[in-house]
Every structure is written in structure tokens, then in C-alpha cells.
Amino acid sequence: MHDKTLAELARSLDAGEFSSHELTQHLLGRIDRLDGELNSFITVTFDQALATADAADKTRAAGKAGPLTGLPLALKDIFCTRDVRTTAGSRMLDNFVSPYDATVVEKLATAGTVSLGKTNMDEFAMGSSNENSHYGPVKNPWDLAAVPGGSSGGSAAAVAAGLVPAAIGTDTGGSIRQPAAFCGITGLKPTYGRVSRYGMIAYASSLDQAGPMARTAEDCALLLSAMAGHDLRDSTCVARGVPDYTEELDTPLAGLKIGLPREYFGDGLDPQVETAVRDAIKVFESLGASVREVSLPHTHYAIPAYYVIAPAEASSNLSRFDGVRFGHRCDAPVDLIDLYKRSRAEGFGDEVKRRILIGTHTLSEGFFDAYYKKAQQVRRLIRQDFLDAFEEVDVLMGPASPTPAFDLGANKDPVSMYLQDIYTIAVNLAGIPGMSVPAGFAGRRPVGLQILGSHFTEARLLNVAHQFQQATDWHRQRPAFAEENA
Ligand code: GLN
């Protein structure tokens, strides 16, 4: 059961091969046995999951099941949930229980999904390896010496290990696509504004976006159809109809124009990753697509611009954690300033503090024009690069990450960690959608192909990824960890 995709599970539930209760019980059993080693969950909601599964079984028996009824998934621990704590991977929120559900949580619940719990993540989604979590690092099921990627590393590892068929992540600079690549699963970051951010703990509000992580593009299409849509509670959420994202999956790719950004194949790209990506592109050619080189000339400025804008927004967003209103409060403060200082010093980890310091500096009087304003101007140029490229081609393809998953502890220097996001970050600055799709291996560690489209072309991206998955079986490979522990 733990091997199947959401679409396959839905068919099995329909055919009465097993109930949602049995499926949920089986997966909870796996989490119980295997997650001690992986650490992909922060909170597992055993009783609630079974109760939800029972309700879903009743809905099905009454003939009222939708495409996701009774299907298990997990939520990154950045989505607020009523009744279940939401930590954002931080000591600051270790005991935080939200009074409401995030819109995404509410929509997935309405669709009948069964949440098994909340997955591990880098603290406040800051990181590329899931080593910045207060709850400890997550291991990559393909190789327990490797990181799963971050910041949605728990979501990616849980799916790869067969603990859950799908999970929800968030992507501010690559946090869905890079862990999907590292763990050999499929992940989609939607267009900025496609999915509501209400109830998603904010890191960098102009970049954050929630999206699905699953085994296949088809499953991502099922989930996005349920997650997307206008929400009056998020003023940046776009009022635009939500298509059924599964409808275009079978469109043939003949005539598809693919662009390969020259800047995504340069220095620093691991040769095994490059080979896997170039082989994947040949598959698209055999499906009738044409390929040409394009240029995104400002790519080089994406990381510096992001590491001004994201920390600036983070420093503002994280000022609410002051020991008064939310989360951790220090013991016996002598006065208000002592309360603020010690609560924040104790509650936040090192990387979060580093970003608050950078962001506070770049927003301060005298530096704002030199840093923040300049970075916003660069952002505009980066966006224009993509718009120009999409005048020529339908989609862009390249690696999701310059290397396969690296060893735990290998990137201790923050700058070398920041460089991990070289191919993903510009996408968030431009607000366009992007996917990572399994496309081979470098040794034992998976490689992800990144596919990018212009704003609101999710249906096309999912179609392109689905056609690739009809022609290849990288997405069907399972790590020995999941097989041995069947
Ligand atoms: N690695 C990037 C960062 O640390 C992106 C993280 C994310 O997308 N949440 O900010």
C-alpha cells in the first residue's frame, strides 16, 4: 500500500481493496517503526488520523467520495492547525497551538484528505538541508548519510520513504523543488498568489508559496486542484478560477518549445547531475519537443538579491515573536526589555538570528536605498529575463540543484549553503511556477530535473512532467530503506 501513488490509492479505495482506515493504520505503523531513524515528522496525529479516515470511509460508503477522499498526507509544520501544535521547526513555537486552520489545511480537509501529522523543516523555513531544525536533522532515505534537502526536508523524506504518499511543502527560494530533487520525488511550486498564504507562518511574504510534493505529476495535479484558489484572507492571493489540473495531463508534447538557460549549465554543476538532466531532455526530444539555448542574463544576481530581500522580510515578520504574544517566554524577566531579549535569544536558532541581523541592517536608515531598494530593482530585471525567455519558448528546463544531496554536516559555511539555491531562487523572485521531477541518479542519490513556466502555467508544467513520467520510470524507483522495511 505504501508504494502506491494517490491516484492508485484512490482506485484501490474505490474498488474496496482496503479502507482508508486500513491504509492509515498501515502508514502510521510504518511511521512508528521507521521514523525514529529518519526524523521526518515533528508531530504524528495517530488518533485524529484514524478518526478522519473513519469519517472518509463513511463518506465513500455513502457514494459521496471526491478524488482525494480518504487519502493520507502530511503537512509541513509551518501550516497552522487548530488542535495540533505548529512549531515551524523552532523552539520559539514549541508549544504553539493556533486558534485556526490555514486555508490550505482547511481546503485539504474539505477535500477529505487524512493528515497523518506535521513534518520536520528548517527553522522558519530558513535552510537548504533541514539541519536547522530545533527538532534535529532529517535523514535522506536514499542514503542515511545524506541530507534530504530543505527547508521542506521532512515532507520530502516522508514521501520517499513510503511513510505517506504525499505531503505539502512551502517554497520561498527552492524549498519544495530542492528537497524533491534530493529525495527523488515530484514537487511543484505554484505561481506566487495561486495558493493562499493565510495561516502559513511567514518567512518572506513576497516569495513564500505552498505547493504539493508527491510521487508523480498526476498526484501533484490532484493536490493543487484542491489547494489553489482565491482567499479574501490573503490580499496577495489572486482571484482567478482554478482549473482541474488533471485535465491537460494527457496532451501530447509534439511542438513543445523547450529553452535551456545557458546560465544553468555552467561552472559548479556536478557532471553526473548534468548528464542526467541532458538525458532527460533527450526524452522530451523523442516526444516531439524542440530544444534551444536561451539566456537569463541576470541569474548571477539572484542569490545576492534574495539574501537581501528574504532576510529583510523575515526580520519584519519575525518581530512578532517577542515573548508576549506568541511562543517561548523566558523565565523571570526583570523588565520588558529583558523579556524581549532573553525570549528571542533562547527561542531562535543561529541561522534565524543571522537572518534577523542581516535583514534589520539592510532595512535600517542609511542602508535601505543601497541594499533593499537596489535588490528590488535587480528583482525586476530577473523577472524580465524570464518574461523575455517565455516569448521564445514554452518552458525552461535545467537542474533543480547543482549537486545531488550532500552529506549531513558538509555545508557548515552559510554562503556555501546559500549557493545551493542557485537554480531555484530566481524563480521565486520572478513569481513564476516551477517543478522538480525525478530524472536519474548520481550514484545512489537522486537527481531532479527542473521545469519552469510563465505565470499561471501550472497545468502546462504538470502536463509536461506527466508525459515525461509516462516515458520514464525514475519516479517509480524506491530507496532500499523503504523496500527493506516493507
Ligand atoms: N534555502 C533558501 C533559504 O534558506 C530557501 C528556503 C525556502 O525556500 N524556504 O532561504
Q: Is the pLDDT of residue 66 over 90?
A: yes
How far does the centroid of ligand 1 lie from the alpha carbon of residue 149, in Å?
10
Closest CA to 228 of 108, 113, 52, 125: 108
Closest CA to 220 of 251, 195, 252, 256: 195
How far does the centroid of ligand 1 lie from the alpha carbon of residue 25, in Å?
33
Burial of 403 (0-12, 13-18, 19+ CB in 10 A): buried
Counting from 1 in the atom list of ligand 1, the atom nearest the Cα of 425 is: 5
User: Burial letters for 371-383: b for 16+ Cβ neighbours within 10 Å, e otherwise?
Assistant: bbebbeebbeebb
Q: Do 59 and 113 meet the contact criterion of CB atoms below 8 Å apart?
A: no
pLDDT digit string, tens, across residues 309-337:
999 999 999 999 999 988 999 999 999 99
Q: Which residue is closest in CA terms to ligand 1's atom 5? A: 173
pLDDT at 326: 85
pTM comes to 0.98
How far does the centroid of ligand 1 lie from the alpha carbon of residue 32, in Å?
29
How far does the centroid of ligand 1 lie from the alpha carbon of residue 477, in Å?
27
Q: Is the CB of 171 under 6 A from ligand 1?
A: yes
Pick the CATH number of 6-252 from 3.40.30.160, 3.90.1300.10, 3.30.360.10, 3.40.605.10: 3.90.1300.10
Mutate which of 171, 351, 421 for ligand 1 pocket (most atoms within 8 A of beta carbon):
421
- Mean pLDDT value across residues 286-298: 98
pLDDT digit string, tens, across residues 364-409:
988 888 999 999 999 999 999 999 999 999 999 999 999 999 999 9
pLDDT digit string, tens, across residues 15-36:
999 999 999 999 999 999 999 9
How far does the centroid of ligand 1 lie from the alpha carbon of residue 124, in Å?
9
Taking CA atoms, 466 is separated from 21, 49, 165, 250, 436, in Å, by 29, 30, 17, 8, 12
pLDDT at 365: 87
d(CA 348, CA 91): 7
Mutate which of 171, 175, 207 for ligand 1 pocket (most atoms within 8 A of beta carbon):
175
Q: Do 263 and 393 meet the contact criterion of CB atoms below 8 Å apart?
A: no
- Per-domain boundaries in the chain: 6-252
> Which residues neighbour 336 within 8 Å (Cβ) at sequence distance 6 or greater?
none
Q: Is the CB of 128 under 6 A from ligand 1?
A: yes
Counting from 1 in the atom list of ligand 1, the atom nearest the Cα of 125 is: 9
Mutate which of 77, 79, 128, 200 for ligand 1 pocket (most atoms within 8 A of beta carbon):
128
Counting from 1 in the atom list of ligand 1, the atom nearest the Cα of 126 is: 4
Least confident range from 8-12, 394-398, 481-485: namely: 481-485
pLDDT, the chain, mean: 97
Q: Is the CB of 172 under 6 A from ligand 1?
A: yes
pLDDT digit string, tens, across residues 433-479:
999 999 999 999 999 999 999 999 999 999 999 999 999 999 999 99
Q: Is the CB of 421 under 6 A from ligand 1?
A: yes
Q: Do 404 and 178 meet the contact criterion of CB atoms below 8 Å apart?
A: no
3-class DSSP state of 407: strand
pLDDT at 486: 67
3-class DSSP state of 205: coil
pLDDT at 321: 96
Q: Is the CB of 151 under 6 A from ligand 1?
A: yes
Sheet of 166-170: strands edge to edge?
A: 41-44, 114-119, 72-76, 166-170, 210-214, 186-189, 434-442, 445-452, 395-399, 257-261, 290-294
What is the Cα 42 distance to its own chain's centre? 16
* Ordered alpha helix ranges (H), 234-295: 271-286
Q: Do 191 and 458 meet the contact criterion of CB atoms below 8 Å apart?
A: yes
d(CA 357, CA 218): 42
Question: Residue type at 231?
Answer: D
d(CA 30, CA 341): 42
Q: Is the CB of 174 under 6 A from ligand 1?
A: yes
> Which residues neighbour 63 within 8 Å (Cβ) at sequence distance 6 or greater?
none
How far does the centroid of ligand 1 lie from the alpha carbon of residue 169, in Å?
12
Residue 190 — very low, low, confident or very high, per pLDDT cuts 50/70/90? Answer: very high
Counting from 1 in the atom list of ligand 1, the atom nearest the Cα of 172 is: 8
Q: Is the CB of 127 under 6 A from ligand 1?
A: yes
What is the Cα 461 distance to its own chain's centre? 16
How far does the centroid of ligand 1 lie from the alpha carbon of residue 302, in Å?
13
* Residues tagged active-site: 76, 151, 175
Q: Is the CB of 165 under 6 A from ligand 1?
A: no
